[in-house]
Amino acid sequence: MSAADHDITEDATEALLTYFDLVMLERLANQSGSQSLRAAASVSDITVFSLIRETLERARLEQRAPYADLRQLSRELGLPALNDIADVMSLDESGASLASALQARVSELRDAHLTNAKLAAAEISERMTFFMVVPALVFAGFFLVPPLLRLMAG
């Protein structure tokens, strides 16, 4: 995966996490699962929200639950978190209370995203170490070379 693809996926994941927070808020406001998904998707016009909105609208027009379509979108976009939320939200069909399950899953996804961001930052820091050491060695060489040359000559 190139750096540009990684950045796009990272941005899409952050947008998706925001979407999940909005879904959770809608759900806490006593909206049904599909209503909260649609209401949260209508908040923004960024690409991820638009694709989710289109998927939800297509399912609504075909008069079926949107969860299978969201799983398909998850595979197309390479965003497994969307699949997880579709699984949790599909529990709404069985009458399960989703608020706590949704909050727990969103929290897990945020923690995983934060851990991945920390790992990426640590990797970049490790790569930068070389560029910090080289100038220090050159600087030390300016001070060590003359005395060493005198010792060898003398």
Is the pLDDT confidence value at 97 over 80? no
Over residues 91-101, the mean pLDDT reads: 66
* Domain range annotation of the chain: 3-128
Give the separation between CA 87 and CA 84, rounded to whole angstroms: 5
Contact 9, 78 (CB under 8 A): yes
Compute φ and ψ for 46, nearest 5 degrees. -65, 165
Over residues 94-115, mean pLDDT: 76
Q: What is the pLDDT of residues 29-55, one digit of tens each?
A: 888 888 888 999 999 899 999 999 999
What confidence tier does 1 reach under pLDDT thresholds 50, 70, 90?
low
**Residue-wise pLDDT tens digits, 79-91:** 888 888 888 888 7
CA dist., res. 150 & res. 144, Å (int)? 10
Angle, helices 99-153/3-28, rounded to nearest 10 degrees? 150
- Evaluate if residue 140 carries a pLDDT over 80: yes
What whole-number distance in Å separates Cα of residue 106 and Cα of residue 140?
51
Average pLDDT (10-27) is: 86
| Average pLDDT value for residue range 140-145 | 86
The reported pTM is: 0.70
